[in-house]
Amino acid sequence: MKRYKKASDGQWPGYPTLRLNDIETLSIQQNQYVAESMVNNRKGRIVVLMDHGEYQDFLEKVQQDKGSINARNVNAAALEAIRNWMKQKKSGEKRE
């Protein structure tokens, strides 16, 4: 007789700290894109409003540093800037 994976405990699978390893539903585990979407759609977001000139400068720097302007590279550059800022604040450095 075929054995199936034990049913989940009924906890909603979309809690904010969801990781790929937390997904117990076999059908979702087997579809990589659905599982990644469930995880990524629950991550925090920050919207930054920039003047046009400043925005164009940022995109130019992304292109110089990463090679092209696409969502992945823009996101990586923004995360890098945020992480560097948080490190500075943690170490008590002041930036002008």
d(CA 30, CA 73): 28
Angle at 74 (CA atoms; ends 69, 78), nearest 5 degrees:
155
Q: What is the pTM of this model?
A: 0.63
* Cα–Cα distance for residue pair 42/66, rounded to 1 Å: 26
pLDDT of residue 41: 80
Q: How far apart are CA 74 and CA 62, in angstroms?
A: 6
Q: Tens place of pLDDT for every residue, the chain, 96 residues?
A: 555 556 556 555 556 677 777 777 777 767 777 878 877 887 888 999 999 999 999 999 999 999 999 999 999 999 999 999 999 998 876 655
Per-domain residue ranges for the chain? 7-45, 52-91
Residue 72 is predicted with a pLDDT of: 93
